[in-house]
């Protein structure tokens, strides 16, 4: 029996992992982008957009439940771990 409680879907008392609805949308090798909000010394907002290729998608235990993250190789070769719900696919030819 499925029960919806505060946006958490439970099946036989098991919590659904955060980001699991996004997991099926991404696979290794997808070209994606995400944004990060940075602030300078005057506390002015600067939005940076990053792009890269997904290396892997994996769950991380954050205490009370697991959350899906993606390991992404950014343009330029840096590897970064990004919350799966923060990334978007980039259309390529």
Separation of alpha carbons 86 and 90, rounded Å: 13
Separation of alpha carbons 70 and 87, rounded Å: 9
**3-class secondary-structure state, position 56:** strand
pTM for this predicted structure: 0.71
pLDDT at 91 over 70: yes
- Number of structural domains, the chain? 1
Residue 12 lies in a domain: no
Residue 65 lies in a domain: yes
Residue 55 lies in a domain: yes
Separation of alpha carbons 88 and 25, rounded Å: 9
32 neighbors 57 (Cβ within 8 angstroms): no
CATH number where 35 lies: 2.30.30
The per-residue pLDDT for range 50-68, each reduced to its tens digit, is 999 999 999 888 877 788 8
pLDDT at 32 over 80: yes
Residue 4 lies in a domain: no
Residue 69 lies in a domain: yes
Residue 8 lies in a domain: no
């Amino acid at each position: 029996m499925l029960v919806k409680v505060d946006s958490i879907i439970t099946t036989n008392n098991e919590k659904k992992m955060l980001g699991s609805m996004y997991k099926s949308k991404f696979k290794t090798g997808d070209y994606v982008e995400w944004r990060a909000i940075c602030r300078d010394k005057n506390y002015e907002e600067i939005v940076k957009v990053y792009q890269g290729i997904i290396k892997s998608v994996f769950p991380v235990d954050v205490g009370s439940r697991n959350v899906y993250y993606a390991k992404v190789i950014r343009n330029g070769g840096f590897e970064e771990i990004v919350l799966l719900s923060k990334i978007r696919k980039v259309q390529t030819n």
